[in-house]
Chain A
Amino acid sequence: MARANGLGGYASATITGAITRRYHGLLIAAQPPPLGRMVVLEDLEVDIELEDGSVANMREKGRFRDFTLNMGLPSWRYELDEVVIETSIVVPSRQNIVHFTLRSLSDGRRLRLRLRPLINFRPRGTGQPGALIGLYAYRPGQPVRG
């Protein structure tokens, strides 16, 4: 599955949602030369806090139910602890942006999730990013709404 943004960037994964190729990722951004296509958000780890207080990884413990394309928009469904969770991806046209949405398809239950972005700034298809990881840092900020 791949959704392109029209700039050369895209989101891509397997039908089960797994990342199995170097060029897979949730946000491969098209950057100006000399960078080119860069894998920036490779994956998103989704953990679910269960009613008994334990935490389960959605992809490891959940049962993959299906993959659908609805008007070209991909979505995956997983079942865990008697709850069906749908994840979907939207890649806005001509923007290096991805929206990754999770929703419950089951009535009644509130689910508490932990979303852990897995990041790696590297050229698409290459694999020597580890040396840079020690240089990564984060800075809190605020989206601008207007």
Chain B
Amino acid sequence: MRLAVEGSEGPIFTADGGSRRESFYDTEAHRGYDSRGWLWSLGYFAGEIRKDCPLTLIAATEAWHTV
């Protein structure tokens, strides 16, 4: 997967070492299904927004030239 952020003034990516966290799916639990899983985070993007200046995260499994 490819990730990019556009907008703001120089959004910054911080790689914080990668962390794993448990996920919980509320509706699955209510229906008696398996309701827990795991997610991975590689870090975070930081940027500013203000009116008329949005911030967009783009995620893709396509090649960079398509993104």
Contact = CB atoms under 8 A, between A and B. Distances in A.
Interface string A19-56: 11110101101010000001011111101000000000
Interface residues of A, number: 59
A99 B40 contact: no
A96 B4 CA distance: 14
Contact of B21 (A118, A143, A146): A118
A113 B27 contact: no
A129 B5 CA distance: 26
Given A19-B25, A113-B47, A129 B56 contact: no
A30 to B, nearest CB: 9
Contacts of B55: 101-103, 113, 115
Interface of A: 18-22, 24, 26-27, 29, 31, 38, 40-45, 47, 85, 95-122, 127, 129-130, 133, 136, 138, 140-144, 146
Interface of B: 1-5, 7, 13, 15, 18, 20-21, 23, 25-28, 33-34, 36-62, 64-67
25 contacts: A21-B25, A31-B61, A40-B1, A85-B49, A95-B62, A98-B60, A100-B57, A100-B58, A102-B49, A102-B55, A112-B48, A114-B45, A115-B46, A115-B57, A116-B45, A117-B44, A120-B40, A122-B37, A127-B36, A129-B38, A130-B37, A138-B15, A138-B43, A141-B2, A143-B67
